[in-house]
Amino acid sequence: MSQTTVSRALGGYPEVNPKTRARIVQAAEQFGYRPDKRARSLATGRSFNIGHVLTSRNKTELVNPIFGDFIGGLTETSSAVGYSLSLTLTEAAQEEAIYRKLKSEGAVDGVVLQLPRPNDPRIALLKEIGLPFVVHGRSTNVTTEYAWVDVNNRRAFERATQFLLDLGHTRIGLINGDETMDYAMRRRSGFEDTLKAAGVEADPQLMSRGFMTEDNGHAIARDFLSRPDRPTALLTSSVILAIGARRAIQEANLTMGKDVSLVCYDDDLSYLSNRQTVPVFTAVRSSVLLAGQEIAKMLIKQIEEPDSELSHVLLEAELVVGQSTGPVSKPFI
Amino acid sequence: MSQTTVSRALGGYPEVNPKTRARIVQAAEQFGYRPDKRARSLATGRSFNIGHVLTSRNKTELVNPIFGDFIGGLTETSSAVGYSLSLTLTEAAQEEAIYRKLKSEGAVDGVVLQLPRPNDPRIALLKEIGLPFVVHGRSTNVTTEYAWVDVNNRRAFERATQFLLDLGHTRIGLINGDETMDYAMRRRSGFEDTLKAAGVEADPQLMSRGFMTEDNGHAIARDFLSRPDRPTALLTSSVILAIGARRAIQEANLTMGKDVSLVCYDDDLSYLSNRQTVPVFTAVRSSVLLAGQEIAKMLIKQIEEPDSELSHVLLEAELVVGQSTGPVSKPFI
DNA sequence: CGTAAATTTTAAAGCGCTTTCAATAGTGCA
DNA sequence: TGCACTATTGAAAGCGCTTTAAAATTTACG
């Protein structure tokens, strides 16, 4: 059998006699033969890798809680169609250099961009160097066209806030993520605008932002709850923050869901389930694992059909009512 | 300039005139030239990838909490020396096939093995197919030589148990991970043996195992604490389990650190810090991120110096005393 | 049965590097 | 100045595939 025929038989090309193909496939199986990925990459000009660049601004941020589930989603989908996920880590200052390198080395066929900020320069960069990409999230003020998958963060926080307003809460504390990130800005404006629409003035003293650790959730909630006009409800940007806030509530001898209501954003992380019959936390939920799957699918399509339109997916978070919310009970009556 | 000289200049070979090299390096920089990774791989027979295979036994296990930090550690070290981490996901039944494929395709230069069970067949398999690997953990009953990095899990649980015994606790509940895994078996025997050595009989009713979710920690602790002869102390295999257990303690109107002591194993996850001035949880701690770094270093050395000895690293967990433990207070006096 | 068309197979070029081996330029010393 | 040697550079082969173009075989049909 010639090289060519084998390649075509295994590659699934049509112009090969079914009998020949069967024979080749059988032989390949028997001897455990598989086309060398390196040679294949060189010949086709494709690497069958999708890239993801992690930047280490600092150790706390290096590995964020959603990282595992997100990567899991990406990997699940890309593995199924023969791509693997290629991870690289770099200092934030080197990020541009890394993308250029990935491109010129031909190390990846496309990349996934995470945690965009407003006007994120990486988008223009990737367009310039011609590396296909999909953004997890959106970047405010970027007017050029790019593919993205995002949760409707603004709407999610509007719904969460409205839900608390409907229960009678007007003193609501916000414990948000890093507000230099686009997603956190959208959440905050969803929160503020809903309050305003209800004629409630947002108290800057009750709006915080920062790393989304259990510790921070605890510290901020404790601070909020120690104020004379303490909030009757808290809204947090993650389950981990909520767990910290719950600790602060309990330490203040208050009861969650009664004295203090708590709503959180829930990424539906597989190891931090909030999916009990009646969930512990009332939440706006959207699975980051699913987002990862969607992004991988979209990126691979873009790689394999470069002329197809760039697409966008806006996921809506669902509101799930759990045990952590209840009608307002005025603290000082 | 000839192909050859350029390759040598950029590759750092000694037999090239310093002036020539400088000129080439400068030109490469100017034009953004970098050797194509695919061609380089084909020519050298190396892929400059290290592989990690995830198996999806089920969704809950797909992404475990330590996954992110572990990957972060691997990536940090391997990126620094020009390797990238290549992730693949497969069903458990396909795991052997995937390793064979990675080898025959030349997709990776080596792999990292996680969560070994006793007598883990993957070790023999990888030796057979000749793919360099390092195990995160050890596999009981495997007598052949292999490289590993492990925490002294047995010792860690001995120390944790002894610490509780020293505080006067004898009714101690164990909330362990999946005991078909080697690490969890070692933890359990460390626990049991220490009790036995102190003349305390371990109560099978107070030893549980399972997925390490917040929910499970809560459910198991609630069960334990509802018994007439409830434990005065709990020992959990992860911080997330401990957080669930804390919730159960509080719901039972007990005070952690006073009515019920709690010690946990702490992987020092970056987003689940237990490093406050006085840590919330008393814990035996060992950073999984550091383990990832160590493993990457070891694997790359094995790849680049195939004749070097296989090495082993046994990390000791440190005992950190936090707010969650105190002397026993008899519940029924 | 012969020839044109369709189907199937093969030879050979090329992907962009590394590496072996040969060639050339440079150096020290008699 | 010339020779042996060393330092430096270059030509060419080869890594293992895919793909183009050509050859061989089969099929269709008058």
pLDDT at B103: 96
Quickly state the pLDDT bin for A59 (edges 50, 70, 90).
low
In 3D space, the residue among A249, A278, A255, A281 whose CA is nearest the CA of residue A268 turns out to be A281
Cβ distance B215 to A273 less than 8 Å, yes or no, reads yes
Q: How far is the CA of B112 from the C1' of C13 (A)?
A: 39
Residue A182 belongs to what H/E stretch?
Answer: helix A182-197
pLDDT at A61: 60
pLDDT at A16: 85
Does residue B242 contact residue B262 with C-beta atoms inside 8 Å? yes
pLDDT at B58: 63
Cβ distance B47 to A56 less than 8 Å, yes or no, reads no
Which residues of chain B are under the pLDDT cut of 50? Answer: 333
Task: Quote the CA–CA distance of A63 and B63 in Å, as a whole number.
Answer: 14
CA nearest to B290 within chain A: A59
Protein residues contacting strand C, judged by Cβ under 7 Å: A 1-5, 8, 15-17, 20, 39, 42-43, 45; B 3-4, 7-8, 10-11, 33, 35-36, 39-40, 42-44
Nucleotide nearest to A2 (CA to C1'): C10
CA nearest to A219 within chain B: B276
Provide the number of CB pairs (under 8 Å) joining chain A to chain B: 169
Of B36, B62, B84, the CB nearest to A106: B36
- Phi, psi at residue A312, to the nearest 5°? -140, 140
Q: In what order do the strands lie in the sheet with A207-209?
A: A207-209, A172-176, A233-236, A261-266, A282-285, A318-320
Q: In what order do the strands lie in the sheet with A49-55?
A: A312-315, A147-151, A133-136, A110-114, A49-55, A84-90, B84-90, B49-55, B110-114, B133-136, B147-151, B312-315
In 3D space, the residue among B101, B105, B97, B99 whose CA is nearest the CA of residue B132 turns out to be B99
Tokens matching residue B140: 């009981």
pLDDT at A60: 57
Task: Quote the CA–CA distance of A243 and A283 in Å, as a whole number.
Answer: 13
Chain A positions in Cβ-Cβ contact with residue B47 (cut-off 8 Å): 37-38
pLDDT at A3: 85
Residue numbers of B between 102 and 121 with CB closer than 8 Å to A: 104-107
Nucleotide nearest to A44 (CA to C1'): D18
Q: How far is CA A186 from CA A47, A84, B84, B297, in A?
A: 36, 32, 34, 41
Q: Is A212 on the interface with B (CB under 8 A)?
A: yes
* Mean per-residue pLDDT over chain A, rounded: 93
Cβ distance B215 to A269 less than 8 Å, yes or no, reads no
pLDDT at A18: 85
- Phi, psi at residue A99, to the nearest 5°? -65, -40
pLDDT at B271: 85
Of A38, A88, A89, the CB nearest to B41: A38
The model's pTM:
0.92
State yes or no: pLDDT of A331 exceeds 80.
no
Task: Quote the CA–CA distance of B260 and B252 in Å, as a whole number.
Answer: 10
Task: Quote the CA–CA distance of B1 and B210 in Å, as a whole number.
Answer: 63
pLDDT at B16: 84
pLDDT tens-digit map of A7-35:
998 888 888 888 888 888 989 988 889 99
* Unique residue bearing structure tokens 């978070």: A317
pLDDT tens-digit map of A297-328:
999 999 999 989 999 999 999 999 999 999 99
Rounded to 5, what percent of chain B is helix, strand, coil?
A: 45, 20, 40
Region A239-268: mean pLDDT is: 96
Q: How far is the CA of B14 from the C1' of D1 (A)?
A: 33
* Mean per-residue pLDDT over chain B, rounded: 93
Of A39, A215, A250, the CB nearest to B42: A39
Neighbours of B5 (CB within 10 A): 17
Between residues A272 and B63, which one has the greater pLDDT? Answer: A272
Quickly state the pLDDT bin for A2 (edges 50, 70, 90).
confident
pLDDT at A169: 97
Query: Sign of torsion, CA B158 B161 B165 B171?
Result: negative
pLDDT at B19: 86
Q: Which of A49, A56, A89 to mutate to test the interface with B (most CBs of B within 10 A)?
A: A89
State yes or no: pLDDT of A98 exceeds 80.
yes
Q: How far is CA A218 from CA A117, A234, A321, in A?
A: 26, 12, 22
State yes or no: pLDDT of A44 exceeds 60.
yes
pLDDT at A15: 81
